[in-house]
Amino acid sequence: MKTYNLASSAQGWASKISELLKQVLGTERFPVDIVTLAQEYSMQIYPNEPIIAVQGADLPGFEGALYRLKKGWAVFYNDSIRSKGRIKFTLAHEFGHYLIHRLDHPEGMQCTSQDTVRWDSAYGLIEQQANTFAANLLMPFDDFRSQIPATTRVTLDMLSHCADRYGVSLMAATLQWLRYTAKRAVLVVSRDGYVLWSRSSEPAFKSGVYFKTSENLIEIPSTALPNRTDLLVDGRASIQHPANVWLNEEVQEVVLMADQYDFAISLLLLDGSSTFELPEDDYI
């Protein structure tokens, strides 16, 4: 299989299309209409093999898929998905596969929820590329930084605003914020009391704050919010932990229980605390 240069493929495609949308639509380009974009853009650049269908389908065990048809390609999402933000990101992910990977996968691809949720490079190069493309297309850094500057102490209300602006899930918006923030923060995804995977901001990682989930089975603290369902309101809560609970320093934990994925999402904020206004709508 061909090895792709991430900077010149995923990020390059996303930047090129984002600039085109900016020129054509200006400030009205968000949220990106991924259904129309995938069909019209593919017809312009690859008229002999465009995307001719973008729709929901019965995909047991899969989040999305890219299939070759007789006269083009089709992009599907699992029609059991309830979150509009999750659907949008899945479609953008599959659009990324079409642009970057279809030549090496001439019959198409199927992607699980882990493929579209996990953004860490260790999970799989082509899935990382598709996620990078989707994130940068739907939430370009120049606009995201104008909403939440890198040095700003984030609040969940700010992240919720960005999720609404880009039409994505709060988890996707948080992951994109983590990629550029100057603050120390860690996203931890857990199930049944154990860490599945995590993502640290660069400042957090450089200060030694990360979880080696590929090497160890890591149990979350007994007082962590996913273990304190009595404190959850509509599956959400925020709490300040003292040192030596999550880490050897104070940590503010904000948690969202994601029923659609069967796991909990904890955002750990370091360097002091801040007050969060928990959003009411479509947070996954």
- The DSSP line for 196-219 is EEEEE-HHHHHTT----TTT---B
Q: Of 37-41, 172-176, 278-282, where does mean pLDDT reach its minimum?
A: 278-282
Q: What are phi and psi of 147, to 5 degrees?
A: -85, -45
For the chain, residues classed under CATH 1.10.10 are 10-138
CATH 3.30.450 residue ranges of the chain are: 154-269
Tell me what pLDDT residue 260 has. Answer: 60
Token pair for 243: 């040192």
CA 39 – CA 152 distance, rounded (Å): 37
pLDDT band of residue 233 (cuts 50, 70, 90) is confident
* pLDDT value of position 280: 44
154-269 has which CATH code?
Answer: 3.30.450
- pLDDT 10s digits, 72-87: 999 999 999 988 999 9
Q: What is the pLDDT of residue 121?
A: 54
Q: Render 35-56 in DSSP notation, one character per residue.
A: HHHHHHHHHHH-TTS-EEEEEE
CB 85 within 8 A of CB 256: no
The CA–CA distances, whole Å, from 62 to 88, 103, 112, 181 equal 15, 21, 4, 32
Class of domain 10-138: mainly alpha
**113 pLDDT tier (thresholds 50, 70, 90):** confident
Residues 170-221: tens digit of each pLDDT = 889 999 999 999 999 999 999 999 999 999 999 999 999 999 987 789 999 9
SS3 32: coil
Residue 274 has pLDDT above 50, yes or no: no
pTM of the model: 0.87
Q: Is the pLDDT of residue 48 over 80?
A: yes
| pLDDT tens digits, 145-179 | 999 999 998 888 899 899 999 999 988 999 999 99
